[in-house]
A and B are shown apart, each in its own frame.
Chain A
Amino acid sequence: MTPARGPHHSEDESLQTLLTMACEADGFAAAAERGEASRLGRSRWSRFAVACGFIGALAAAAAIAMVALPTLWPAAPTPTGPRLAMHDKPHHPTGVVLIPRGSEVRPASYLAPAGSARDIPMPTSGEATVLLAVFSDEPSDQNNDCGCTVFSAVAWSNDRPLYEIGRGELISAALARRCGGVGELRFVLAMQGPVESLPANAAAARSLIACVSSGPDACSDEGNCFAAAALRCVPDGVIVLAETMQFASR
């Protein structure tokens, strides 16, 4: 069969797309391997649990002790969520930037739009796409709560829908909005859907981050994990893309 090509479509572009697909296929293999590991893990755990059933009794005793101890000693102060202060994004009509308390409000210049995604005012009706990128100050600290979160409504070049946006493109869009050009990207979420289903302000963005981070299994470096966690936190009909900066593992 003669390949059907548009006049502006080069072989290089097709090869690049096939390479993207090969990377995605890697993701399928990784997921299947994880499934294999969890099955083997479950099976080994079952055998272990049968052999060491008495450990359950010990665990129950420990749990009772943990409940009882705080009544005997005063509770230590506990963190009350991320130490984030909210500032309106300077000179920007819609977005907000969350900056660690005590830090200066950074100039708006770092919010220069990425090549393929430009910041737009949040539409009042219809569909919209929002970008939510979470950075931490310490590269090695995944639970760092002193990072910053960038949130804004975006439009992709050529008005492309979210499902046509590649991994690198999403990461580039996040990095272009990196707070003051520093910080390690923990993850970036892009969500497309009806305006009323998307986070529209800083408080909603903060709630979404808390929801994504509070799933049964904490996500560390897997974009799909963050996407799955985010899907649980948004209404039906919202498309979610999520990525992290873990190049080496892929």
Chain B
Amino acid sequence: MDDQHQQRRVRRAIGRSVPTLSLRELSEAAASGERTVFDEVYARLDGVVRRFMRQRGAHASLSDDLSQRVWFAVWQACRNGNYDPNRAAISTFVYAVASNVWLQHLRSRGTRDARTQAIESIGVDILDAERASDFAKSAEAIELLRRAMSASEEGDAASDLTERERDALRATGEGVTDRDLALRLAVSPSTAHATRKSAIKKVGRLLRRAGLWPSDGDPDTTPKNPADSAERGGTRRE
């Protein structure tokens, strides 16, 4: 099928041409496995993926190789229906794939870092991380946290986080120390520390409920069955 024909098909399906789609619309369209939509995702995010690799120390040719692996995996996932736009935005999905590909590269060189541990905590085996289900799982966990950190009501309802706890979560993601967080929140360092702990506990519960974090035996946070996670769905954030 030629490009123009595909463009027309997508345009008929979504009523607009691909380059004018918002990221949210693009996420939904990407799940269709249309090549023109994938090309647009590639055009918007390839530079970011390469910069991601370069910032982690990959030289130019390694960055090229790893980026190609990332885009091949994203294309496969979109084409085979393994990318679910309700679980994660396409940008989060690409980020998750890029992270897993990078961590796998580190593992192949005998290196592990904190990110490897974190990704393995949600049940992804980095050594076998090119499985589409593992990419989806990483993306879903990261999307859940993005949503929890956002200021939307949807995020509040899902995670039961207060405004201050959301600030603390975001600061934690940015690597801010308790002392600096205290300055930001205008509270004492011990209060900042307690707020951070409470926020982290809540997102841990959120991940457990979604079946993305090892169970702590609490019936409130343990999914009743594995399908719970799949049924949870929800709207992703851009």
Q: How many residues in A have their beta carbons less than 8 Å from beta carbons of B? A: 58
Whole-angstrom CA separation of A18 from B231 in the bound complex: 23
Whole-angstrom CA separation of A127 from B63 in the bound complex: 20
A33→B145 contact, CB < 8 A:
no
Q: Say what secondary structure dominates the interface of chain A.
A: helix
Contact of B120 with A by CB under 8 A = yes
The interface bits of chain B over 167-193 (1 if a CB of A lies within 8 angstroms of the residue's CB, else 0) are 001111111110010001000000000
Binding site for A on B (CB under 8 A): 19-23, 26, 41, 43-45, 47-48, 51-52, 54-57, 59-60, 89-92, 94-96, 99, 113-115, 117-118, 120-125, 141-143, 145-146, 149, 169-177, 180, 184, 197, 200, 203-204, 207, 213-214, 238
8 A-B interface contacts by CB (under 8 A) = A1-B125, A17-B115, A20-B174, A22-B143, A28-B48, A40-B19, A163-B56, A236-B60
Question: Residues of A contacting B120 with CB < 8 Å?
Answer: 3-5
Our pick among B19, B174, B204 for the contact of A11 (Cβ within 8 Å) is B204
B113→A14 contact, CB < 8 A:
no
A17→B174 contact, CB < 8 A:
no
The interface bits of chain A over 1-38 (1 if a CB of B lies within 8 angstroms of the residue's CB, else 0) are 10111100101111111111111111111011101100
Question: Residues of B contacting A27 with CB < 8 Å?
Answer: 48
Rounded to whole Å, the gap between the CB of A16 and the closest CB of chain B is: 5
Question: Residues of A contacting B26 with CB < 8 Å?
Answer: 32, 36
A15→B19 contact, CB < 8 A:
no
Our pick among B19, B92, B174, B238 for the contact of A168 (Cβ within 8 Å) is B174
Contact of A206 with B by CB under 8 A = no
Question: Residues of A contacting B174 with CB < 8 Å?
Answer: 20, 23, 166-168, 171, 247, 250
A168→B59 contact, CB < 8 A:
no
B121→A3 contact, CB < 8 A:
yes
Given contacts A227-B55, A237-B59, contact A20 B175 (CB under 8 A): yes
Rounded to whole Å, the gap between the CB of B96 and the closest CB of chain A is: 7
B51→A161 contact, CB < 8 A:
no
Minimal Cβ-Cβ distance residue in B for A166: B175
Our pick among B23, B54, B143 for the contact of A36 (Cβ within 8 Å) is B23
Rounded to whole Å, the gap between the CB of A196 and the closest CB of chain B is: 17
B121→A5 contact, CB < 8 A:
yes
